[in-house]
A and B are shown apart, each in its own frame.
Chain A
Amino acid sequence: MTMTMLENATATEIAVACRRVTKTYGTGGSAVTALRGIDLDVRAGELMMLVGPSGCGKTTLISVIAGILDRDAGDCTVFGHDYSQMTQGEKTRYRGETIGFVFQAFNLLPTLTAAENVSIPLLINGASRATAMKKAKEMLARVELGDRAHSLPSQLSGGQQQRVAIARALIHDPKLIVCDEPTSALDHETGHKVMELLKDVALKEDRALVIVTHDARIFEFADRIARMDDGRIMKIENGDDFAVNGK
Chain B
Amino acid sequence: MNLIALKMLVGDRLKYISLVAGIAFAALLVTQQSSIFTGFARQMSAWIRDTNVADLWVMDEQVEFVDDFKPMAETKLQRIRSVDGVQWAVPLYKNYLRTRLPDGTAVQTRVVGLDDATLTGAPEIVEGRVEDLRRDRAVMINIRHASTLLALKRDGNKPLKIGDRISINDNEAIVVGFYRATREFFWDPVIYTTYTKALNWAPRERKQLGFILVKAQENQDLTQLAERIKSQTGLVAYTGDQFANKTMTDLLSRTGILINFGITIALGFVIGVLVAGQTFFNFVLDNLRHFAALKAMGLRNLAIIRMVLLQLLTVGLIGYGIGLGGAVITGAIFSRVGLAFEMPWQIPVLGAVAILGCCLGAGIISLVRVMRMEPGIVFRA
Residues of A within 8 A of B (CB): 59, 62-63, 66, 68-69, 88-89, 92-93, 95-97, 99, 101, 103-105, 107, 109-112, 116, 120-121, 123-125, 129, 180-181, 184, 212
Contacts and interface: CB of A to CB of B under 8 A. Distances in A.
A28 B378 CA distance: 27
Contacts of B303: 124
B374 A95 contact: no
B221 interface: no
Interface-central residue, A66, A68, A97, A125, by most chain B CB under 10 Å: A68
Contacts of A96: 297-299
Interface string B2-13: 011001101110
Interface string B339-381: 0000000000000000000000000000000000011101111
A104 B380 CA distance: 8
Interface in B299-318: 299-301, 303
Given A59-B376, A95-B296, A121-B298, 10 more contacts: A59-B379, A63-B376, A96-B297, A97-B298, A99-B298, A105-B381, A107-B289, A109-B8, A111-B12, A181-B381
B322 interface: no
B293 A101 contact: yes
Return the 9 tightest CB-CB contacts between A and B, nearest first. A96-B298, A111-B11, A107-B293, A68-B375, A63-B376, A59-B379, A180-B379, A111-B7, A95-B298
Contacts of B379: 59, 62-63, 103-104, 180, 212
B300 A89 contact: yes
Given A59-B380, A63-B376, A68-B375, A101 B297 contact: yes
B297 A121 contact: yes
Contacts of A109: 4, 7-8, 11, 290
A89 B304 CA distance: 13
Contacts of A180: 378-379
A200 B11 CA distance: 34
A107 B378 contact: yes
A89 B299 CA distance: 10
Interface-central residue, A116, A120, A125, by most chain B CB under 10 Å: A120
A125 to B, nearest CB: 7
A44 to B, nearest CB: 21
B378 A103 contact: yes
Given A111-B10, A116-B7, A120-B4, A125 B290 contact: no
Contact of A66 (B290, B296, B299): B296
Contacts of A63: 376, 379
Given A104-B381, A105-B381, A111-B7, A124 B298 contact: yes
A149 to B, nearest CB: 15
A32 B12 CA distance: 38
A218 to B, nearest CB: 17
Contact of B294 (A93, A104, A120, A129): A120
A104 B10 CA distance: 26
B337 interface: no
Contacts of A129: 3
Contacts of B137: none
B7 A107 contact: no
Nearest to A62: B379
26 contacts: A59-B376, A66-B296, A68-B374, A68-B375, A68-B376, A95-B298, A96-B298, A101-B297, A103-B293, A104-B379, A105-B381, A107-B289, A107-B290, A107-B293, A109-B7, A110-B12, A112-B4, A112-B7, A112-B11, A116-B4, A120-B4, A120-B297, A123-B4, A124-B299, A124-B303, A180-B379
B3 A68 contact: no
Contacts of B215: none
A181 B379 CA distance: 9
A124 to B, nearest CB: 5
A70 B379 CA distance: 15
A92 B300 CA distance: 6
Interface-central residue, A97, A124, A181, by most chain B CB under 10 Å: A124
Contacts of B293: 101, 103, 107
B372 to A, nearest CB: 13
A62 B11 CA distance: 32
Nearest to B6: A111
A27 B3 CA distance: 42
B165 interface: no
Given A110-B11, A111-B8, A69 B299 contact: no
Nearest to B9: A111
Contacts of B145: none
B1 interface: yes
Contact of A93 (B3, B295, B298, B381): B298
Contacts of A95: 296-298
Interface-central residue, B1, B296, B301, B374, by most chain A CB under 10 Å: B296
B296 A101 contact: yes
Nearest to A184: B381
Contacts of A88: 301
A92 B298 contact: yes
B14 to A, nearest CB: 13
B10 A124 contact: no
A122 B3 CA distance: 14
A189 B225 CA distance: 97
A120 B291 CA distance: 12
A96 to B, nearest CB: 2
A103 B82 CA distance: 92
A122 to B, nearest CB: 10
